[in-house]
Chains A and B, each alone.
Chain A
Amino acid sequence: MISEPIEVILAVVLVTIAIATAISFTKVVTKQEIGSERILARSIASLIGDIYSRDFVMNGNLTLREFKNKVGEICTLVWNRTGIWFNVSMYLVYLNGTEIKFYINSTNAARPVGDVVIVTFPVMPGCNNSEIHWYVISYRDPYYKRTIDANHWEGESARFYIVAYSKDGLPVQGGNAQVTLYADATLITTEGAQLINGICKITIDVGIQEGSPAGKYHAFVDYTGPNGENFPTRELWIDLDNGDPVGRAENQMIVNETTLPAYHFYIGDTVYGRSCNRMNLTSIRENITFIGLPETLDDIIYAQGPYNATVENIGDSSTRAHIPIFIFPYTIRIEVIAIAPRG
């Protein structure tokens, strides 16, 4: 029972000391917590960068949607374990320095109020694995043929693209490719070419052949790496349909803004089509369909590496052609926002 003024003063002083103590220690604890959150956010940014570069870009184990889901799972997992809410975004960095931000995913819970820590982490997928990957695609499938007379037929020129790349999606410099073409079992010819910047095109003029028209082209393709590496021969069967073997020629092309045929693009570049207005892009990780041309490569889905572009004029399947393109490496910045609810 407080009965004297002096006792009131004493009580006030003691309470003030207690409050001051509590306040001063709370400040230290908060500072420590922010340091801890910064390390955790940094580790998550790095972890997501690794998942992006290895699983998404280099191995193609994940589609973009699966990658985003994986990021959401990790954010929620860490939230359940630490009570810290995370939000992940990615920035595409163009050659000219422009950046575009894309939201990836966040913790599956309402954004709390609290201290915010923002960590950004640059990512550029790359590896020292010099293993060469290569493939061949036929420009047309099917090619056209026509009967000239009882003993002659004419076939469309066969065109093949040979693409060689390393695990990180970069083009292999050099190496030689060779295509041996048969019409059914009849040898047409063998042609070779050197790969430049990961791609080469080999054209085989079939022209007029004797006998009854073949049913298919049969191609054997070999690639020798820049250091003499040998690989198993690839084999392709391509259908021959009745049609004009000359008229289609090589009209469908992917070109750049100067209208020249192009096979290499950076993120932020625009892909144009010649005699085609739509394409589907296939990579090791996903199929991106119904892309109208021209198309600017300004989406996070366009990761670095080789793509097979199937182009055509809408409504005319005879214009369909397959052309490889490389999207060159670019920088990504991963931003992780960590919010620790306090109050």
Chain B
Amino acid sequence: MFGADTKKLTSLLPLRMQNQMDAWLESLQVLLEVRDPRVLRSLAPAGIRGLVLQRGKQGVPTQTRAHHSAHFDWSYPSDNPEMRALYTRAKQGQWNSDTTLSWKTSVDPYDPATPLLPDGFLDFEALARLGIKLDAKEKQRLVYSVASWMLSQFLHGEQGALFAAAQVTEAVQFFDGKLYGATQVMDEGRHVEVFHRYLDTKLEKLYQVNDNLFVIIDALMADGRWDMKFLGMQIMVEGLALGAFGTLYKQTKEPLLRELLKYVIQDEARHVHYGVLALRDHMKLLSGSEKREREDWAFEVALLMRNRFLAYEVYEEWFEGILPRDKWREFVTHTPGMHEFRQTMFSRLVPNLREIGLITPRLLPRYEKVGLLQYMGGLAADRLDGDGLIAELDRAA
């Protein structure tokens, strides 16, 4: 990232300071990737609030300001048959979290019969090569930490999705979209409930919101344009979540978590579909310059998303002061479980971006440079439904 000279300079500092420097430089690098000044204007304030001031970790409450306007329509038009159909499907797909899931299941994160994550998810040999040798119990505890961390970030993402869904429901101009949006608000509320209940009563651990995730949520809450909220939340955050839930669903052997994810995935598939429906036509109506701004914005957010999955919070809990932060980044990037996570997440996200027309020849080299181009092939969400997704995942498992 930054040249060998910077590296040499910082290596003179104590490890704690080196780590802080690494964090600053990493944040700076994300911002320096921004080419379009308009994207910088919309992301930089959120970037400073999230990456520099760490507002998401300052304690309760975190307050963000919204700038969108609510779009009323007193004529109640039936204006989008596809969204209407999705609304009907969403009504039928509602489920009661108290009765649908077997909360009586007792969850033991250390039970070898029902591991949260599969063996080999973390490459302990690579960790040992970095000088960190863990005994069997510690390995189990680290895997448990990583699983709790991942689910904590899903939970925080769902809180963002809940508020964004509410804002989008106000701001969107399709009336059928508003009706559908109301079901999504309910869905997200339920997801917050079930993820939190699982973490609180079963895993008994909750991590702080990741700074990169917070930047995305903060930027979405503040952006006044409904299509940016859609793009960010429905396509990027939800699209990635769909990929992540799918991987976890395939990998976990813990029965309650599997059941929970199965239901959440079915809801999420609708949410991403909604985003594709709303944006596909809208993007065609935008001027060239407006569209370019969105293309760049989506690329930046994809980059933030990729960095979101580096599990620095687990590092801070376990290895801060023992292992340099950049070594951890290298480890997490290459450890098999997290690698596969990124694969599936982006293999869901990139086709959706392509479908709404945001991956253009202009952007291809940049996607390629950060290694995201390989995911272009898959099916977009409008051709996949929840049941299809689950069936596909079950086949793959």
Same complex origin of A and B: no
Give chain B's interface residues, CB within 8 Å of chain A: none
